[in-house]
Amino acid sequence: MDVTDIVDREFETYDETTRVSKLRGAFEDSNRKALVIERDGEFVGIVTRKEVLSSHEKTTRKARSLVRSVPTIGPHEDVREAARLMIASDTRLLPVLQGDDLVGVVRTEALLRSVQPYLAVLDASDVATTDVVSVEPDTSLGKALSTFRTERIEHLPVVSGDDVVGIVSLADVLSFVTRELQRSQGGDSPEHMDASKGGHHGGRGAREGERDDLLALPVRNVMVEAVGTTTPDESLEEVLESMLEFDASSSILLDDGSLAGIVTKTDLLESLTWSEERRLPVQVFGAELMSDTTREELSERIEAVSRKYGAMRVLEAKVHFQEHKERLRGVAQIHARIRLYTDKGTFVASDEGYGDRHAFSLALNAIERQILEGKTSERARMPSGEDVVAKMYGWWLSE
C-alpha cells in the first residue's frame, strides 16, 4: 500500500523570510503540526508547531531561524516507509517530491486514517507504554517541564488518587508559557522596543520574574480534562478512532479503571513498521556473501546495541555487503554498510574487513560511536548543543 491517495496537494508554503509572528499566527489559527518552508520557491525544510509556539525567538525574526530539514518521499512511496521516516526524523509531515518539484505533503493523521482498518489486528496492550509517568493536578508547570526533559516524553497523565483527571503535553505547557509572556509584554512589536526606555516593556528582570511565576502554576491550569481512554484488549483501530474524536495525539490506557499505560500516535506509526514475526526487520543486500553470519545473528547484534540505549528503538535495519578483490589467507575483503532507522534519527556507517562478520562488526562499532555522539544522518544540518535545546524547547529549558 502506498501513499498516493493520501498526498495532500492543497498545502500552504511559507518563504524562509516570513516573520516568526506570522508563523505563530498560522499555527494558532489552525490545528497544523508543521508548516513547509521554501527558499525562492524551492523546498528547504519545515517548522513545527511546538518549535514556533515555544520559541524564544523575537517575532520579528525570520522563519529560517527555526527551519529544520526532514526526509522527503516520492508520491508512490510505501506507507510503511513513510511511517519509518516520520519516526526516525521526529516529524509528523513528510514533503512529497516528484523529481525536484514539491507536489504535496503526507501528514500523520492522513496516513493513520488510511490504514485504520488494518490496525484492528493489534490491541492497545501490544503497543502501550506501561511504565508510565504521571503527575498530580497541583504539580507545578516547572516540575512538569523537568519531567518531560528527564524522562524524554511528551505526554503526562494527570492523576488524583486512583483517578485519571486529565492529561498535559509538552507542547501545551510551552505554548501556554510563551503565550502568557507575549501577552504580558505586549509582543515584540516596535512600540514595545523603545531603546530609550531600555528595550522590552518591563525589562529582562520582569520577564524572568513573570516566567518563574508562570512555571509555579499548577498543571491543572493547562491540562486537558476531556481525555480519550482505552483498555488493554481494545483494538488499535478503535484507539485511533478515539484519538481522532478527541483531536488528541495520545490515549490513556485503563485497566479496571486504574492508570495502566499510554498509547500515542507514534506507537501506532511504529506498529506499521513491525515485521510479521514482530522482530527487528533486517534487509540484507549481498546476502550471498554471508558465510560467517546469519540474518538472525545480524538482528541479535543490532538489537544488543540498541538495548544499551534504552530510550532508543530501532525500527528497521539495512545491511549491504560488497566484495573486493583483495584477500587475506583466502578470505575476501568485504565492505559492510549499515543503516539503522530509529526513533532518534537515522544512523549510517560503513567499514571494511576480511569476511562478512569482521566487516559487519567494524561497521556496527562505527554505528555505536555515532549513537554515543548523537550523530544522525537525517539531522546532520541541525545545530547542536544548547542551540538545539533552545530552538526545540524554549529558552527556559536551555539551562
Cβ atoms of 73 and 82 closer than 8 Å? yes
Strand partners, 349: 338
pTM of the model: 0.66
Cα 200 to its chain centre, rounded Å, is 34
Cα dihedral 21/27/33/34 (nearest 10): -40
pLDDT for res 144: 92
194 beta partners: none
pLDDT confidence of residue 311? 64
User: What is the phi-psi region of residue 247: left when phi exceeds 0, alpha when psi lies from -120 to 50, beta otherwise?
Assistant: left
Q: Residue 213 has what pLDDT?
A: 82
Q: Is 163 helix (H, G, I), strand (E, B) or coil?
A: strand
4-121 shares its CATH topology with 124-271: yes
**Residue burial 149-173, b: 16+ Cβ < 10 Å; e: rest:** eeeebebbbbbeeeebebbbbbbbb
pLDDT of residue 299: 87
In the 8-state DSSP scheme, what is residue 8? Answer: B
Q: What is the pLDDT of residue 305?
A: 87
Alpha-helical regions (H) of the chain: 20-28, 49-53, 79-88, 108-115, 124-127, 141-151, 170-185, 203-215, 236-245, 265-271, 295-307, 356-373, 386-393
399/391 Cα distance (integer angstroms): 13
Architecture of domain 282-373: 2-Layer Sandwich (3.30)
- Considering only the C-alpha atoms of the chain, give the largest distance between any 2 of them, rounded to a whole number of Å: 80
Q: What is the pLDDT along the chain (399 residues), one digit of tens a residue?
A: 889 999 999 889 999 999 988 988 888 777 788 999 999 989 999 998 878 876 666 667 899 988 988 889 999 998 988 988 888 788 889 999 998 899 999 999 999 999 998 888 889 998 888 888 999 999 999 999 889 888 878 899 999 988 999 999 988 888 788 777 766 665 544 334 343 333 444 444 445 567 778 889 999 999 998 788 999 999 999 999 999 888 888 999 999 889 999 999 988 988 887 754 455 668 888 888 999 998 888 988 998 888 787 667 787 788 999 999 898 888 999 999 998 888 777 889 999 999 999 999 999 999 999 888 876 554 333 333 334 333 333 333 333
124-271 belongs to which homologous superfamily? CBS-domain (3.10.580.10)
Short-list 284, 291, 242, CA closest to 265 = 242
d(CA 185, CA 259): 40
**Residue ranges of domains in the chain:** 4-121, 124-271, 282-373
How would DSSP label each residue in 130-155? -S---B-TTSBHHHHHHHHHHHT-SE
Class of domain 4-121: alpha beta
Span between the terminal Cα atoms of the chain, in Å: 45
